[in-house]
Amino acid sequence: MKGGALCLAVLLVAGIKLRQAAHINNEDIEVVTIREVTDPVERELGTDQPDARYQFDAHGKSFDLRLKRNNRINLRTTPVHYCDHTGRITKKALGSDDDFTLYQDKASNAAVAVYTDKRDAKNQKKMEGFVIDADQMYEVRHLEDDKYVVARQNIESKPPGEEDVDTYAEKPTRRQLHLHVRRSADASTLLRTLMDVLTAVNKQKTDKAIELSKKQTYSGSHIDASVELMVCTDDTIWTYFLGRNNQDAAAAETELKRYYALITNGMDLRYQNIEDPDLNIYVVLAAYAIVQGAGGAPWFSNNVLPGEPEKNGRKMVNKTSSLNDWCKYRNDNYGSFSEHDHGMAFTM
């Protein structure tokens, strides 16, 4: 989708506090053993042979993930741009040897990554990501050896008395995702961020289903459309990942890129599950734009509401002004970034 590329911009004030977690309690977390199916006979059951297969039991359910590699997201070839406090944009040379590989299982609604952890002598292979089953989301995070933590989150409802943070006007065509957080927890950030992103994706999915239900016939031509996404993270996110990695910039960049690759993989999976015989939408991770210097993301920092009010520990911004400023910045600097048609800005 090259036409109108400069107009296809979106602001995602993700509203995430990476130190906060999705609302979870002890009953929503289980430590389980995950088995990688490597035997060729087991791997090749059926006609649709998976590229990888993992099995585990958690929260009273059995999961059998028959995964296909998602080549639309490749951290080795995705360009990285740095933005400093002066607005100067520099492009980093490619050359990453990160084996962080994205997979999907459309039937199981699973989006995961498989990679080798090289931080110790074990060089251990790990699988992490999430599975959505009806109104439940299960985040899978490696613990040690073959042990994993599986955190379950209800994405349709909220605890009694919990404030709904979705401030958009209620619409009949919109499927609400009620989000809630708990301070001082650091157990699950992927759930929180992904649900923020999927709020917008779910609206598009629901509206598309309603549109299709009104159609009497479909056109004879099928369109495969790729949306090339640039992920832009502001300086607060960079500071957070630096802190998590003892001020090691290379390690911080690796973790940041992996995190948002998982998010993009989930977005792509969501679009893949739209049943439309005329149109198939793919989300391609086209570039990263990492703001490193304080004040390097003025579309956020210059639009804090008067009096600096906070919600869930985060300063609130004027969403209209932030959107306009982000679109203007992207339009003015489009030639400095790798080619893309959709820009998504994240903050903490």
pLDDT, tens digit, for every residue of 217-238?
A: 444 566 778 889 999 999 999 9
Phi, psi of 82 (to 5 degrees): -105, 140
Q: Is 48 exposed, middle or buried (0-12, 13-18, 19+ CB in 10 A)?
A: exposed
Nearest C-alpha neighbor of 54 from the set 109, 139, 114, 132: 114
Does residue 17 carry a pLDDT above 70?
A: no
Q: CA Rg, the chain, in Å?
A: 20
Q: Which of 16-25, 129-138, 287-296 has the lowest mean pLDDT?
A: 16-25
Looking at residue 46, the DSSP 8-state letter turns out to be S
Q: Rounded to whole angstroms, how far apart are CA atoms 26 and 190? A: 18
Does residue 131 carry a pLDDT above 90?
A: yes
User: Where along the chain do its domains lie?
Assistant: 5-213+222-346
Residue 32 CA, distance from chain mean position: 24
Contact 330, 316 (CB under 8 A): no
- Local confidence band at 46 (pLDDT 50, 70, 90 cut-offs): low
Q: Rounded to whole angstroms, how far apart are CA atoms 48 and 100? A: 23
Strand partners, 148: 32, 142
Does residue 19 carry a pLDDT above 80?
A: no
Residue 139 tokens read as 């985040």
Q: Rounded to whole angstroms, how far apart are CA atoms 71 and 226? A: 13
Does residue 239 carry a pLDDT above 80?
A: yes
pTM: 0.75
Distances in Å between the alpha carbon of 206 and those of 53, 163, 179, 243, 337? 30, 24, 19, 39, 32
Higher pLDDT, residue 188 or 104? 104
Looking at residue 310, the DSSP 8-state letter turns out to be E
Does residue 50 carry a pLDDT above 70?
A: yes
- Ramachandran quadrant class, 219 (left: phi over 0; alpha: psi -120 to 50; beta: rest): beta
Phi, psi of 108 (to 5 degrees): -90, -5
Quickly list H helices, the chain.
40-43, 190-213, 235-244, 249-272, 298-301, 319-332
Q: Rounded to whole angstroms, how far apart are CA atoms 11 and 345? A: 5
- Would you state the pLDDT for residue 22? 37
- Would you state the pLDDT for residue 199? 55
257-260 contact pairs (CB < 8 A, 24+): 257/75, 257/78, 257/80, 257/98, 257/100, 257/288, 258/75, 258/98, 258/100, 258/113, 258/115, 259/189, 259/190, 259/193, 260/231, 260/233, 260/285, 260/288, 260/346
DSSP-derived pairing of the beta strands 124-133 and 9-11: unpaired
The residue whose two tokens read 């970034």 is 337
pLDDT tens, residue by residue, 246-295: 999 999 999 999 999 999 999 999 888 877 777 788 899 999 999 998 88
- Would you state the pLDDT for residue 47? 52
pLDDT > 70: percent of the chain? 69
Does residue 191 carry a pLDDT above 90?
A: no
Q: Rounded to whole angstroms, how far apart are CA atoms 234 and 241? A: 11
